Amino acid sequence: MSGVTLSSPHLPVQPSVGGVMRGVLLALIPGTAAMVWLLGIGVLINIAVCVAACLVTEAACLRLRDRPLSPFMRDWTAILTGALIGLALPPLAPWWIAVIGGVSGIVLGKHLYGGLGFNPFNPAMVGYVVLLISFPTELTLWTVERADVATTLAAQFGGLGASALDAVTAASPLDGLRTGLSQNLTVDEARIASVFASGGWGWVNLGFLLGGLWMIWRKLITWQIPVAMLAGLGIMALVFWLIDGDRHADPLFHLMSGAAMLGAFFIATDPVSGATTPRGKLVFGFGIGVLVYLIRQWGGYPDGVAFGVLLMNMTVPLLDTHLQPRVYGQGKAGRPDR
Amino acid sequence: MSEYSDITKKGLWTNNPGFVQLLGLCPLLAVSNTVVNALGLGLATLLVLTASNAAVAAIRDSVRDEVRIPIFVMVIAAFVTAIELLMNAFLHELYLILGIFIPLIVTNCAIIGRAEAFASKNSLRKAVADGLAMGGGFGLALLLLGGLREVLGQGTLLADAQLLFGELARGWTITVIPEFRGFLLAALPPGAFIGLAFLIAGKNMIDRRLAARQPAKPPIGAEPA
Given an 8 Å threshold on Cβ–Cβ distance, is B183 in contact with A133?
no
Looking at residue B48, its pLDDT comes to 94
Q: How does pLDDT run across B151-202, given as a tens digit for each residue?
A: 988 888 888 878 777 777 777 778 877 777 778 888 888 899 999 999 999 9
Residues of A with Cβ-Cβ distance to B188 under 8 angstroms: 133
Instruction: Give the gap in angstroms from C-alpha B129 to the nearest C-alpha of chain A.
Output: 37
- B184–A108: do the CB atoms touch at under 8 Å? no
Q: Do B188 and A137 touch (CB under 8 A)?
A: no
B221 in any annotated domain: no
Q: Does A134 touch chain B (CB under 8 A)?
A: yes
Kindly state whether residue B219 falls inside one of the protein's structural domains.
no
Burial of B75 (0-12, 13-18, 19+ CB in 10 A): buried
Q: Does the distance separating the beta carbons of A108 and B194 come in below 8 Å?
A: yes
Q: Are A119 and A110 in contact (CB under 8 A)?
A: yes
**Do the domain assignments include residue B218?**
no
Does the beta carbon of A113 lie under 8 angstroms from any beta carbon of chain B? Answer: no
Task: Check: CB of residue B22 under 8 Å from CB of residue B147.
Answer: no
A2 pLDDT tier (thresholds 50, 70, 90): low
Q: Do A133 and B185 touch (CB under 8 A)?
A: yes
Q: Looking at the domain assignment, is residue B224 inside a domain?
A: no
CA dihedral B193, B194, B200, B202 (to 10 degrees): -160
Chain B residues whose C-beta is within 8 A of a chain A C-beta are 181-186, 188, 190, 194
Residues of B in contact with A130 (CB under 8 A): 185
Please name the amino acid found at residue B46. Answer: L
Q: Which of A303, A290, A293, A313 is nearest to A90 (CA)?
A: A303
pLDDT mean over A149-162: 76
Counting the structural domains of chain B, the total is 1
Least confident of A40-44, A51-55, A327-331: A327-331
Question: Which segments of chain B does DSSP mark as H helices, in order?
Answer: 2-9, 25-30, 35-58, 68-90, 92-98, 109-117, 124-154, 162-165, 184-187, 189-213
CA distance A104 to chain B (A): 11
Which of A108, A134, A137 lies nearest to residue B183, judging by beta carbons? A134
Model confidence over A172-226: pLDDT tens digits?
Answer: 778 777 777 777 777 777 776 655 555 678 888 999 999 999 999 998 999 999 9
Residue whose C-alpha is closest to residue A191's, from A236, A250, A140, A260: A250
Task: Considering only the beta carbons, identify the residue of B181, B184, B194 that sits closest to A133.
Answer: B184
CA distance A133 to chain B (A): 6
CB < 8 Å to A108, chain B: 194
Q: Is B223 within a domain?
A: no
| Alpha-carbon span A50 to A124, nearest angstrom | 10
Could you report the per-residue pLDDT of B29-65, keeping only the tens digit for each? 888 888 998 999 999 999 999 999 999 999 999 988 8
C-alpha torsion A214→A218→A220→A222, nearest 10: 80
| Cβ–Cβ gap B181/A108 under 8 Å | no
Cβ-Cβ contacts under 8 Å, B182 against chain A: 134
- Residue-number span of the structural domain to which B172 is assigned: 2-213
Q: Rounded to an integer, what distance in angstroms lies between the CA atom of residue B164 and that of residue B40? A: 7
Single pTM value for the model? 0.85
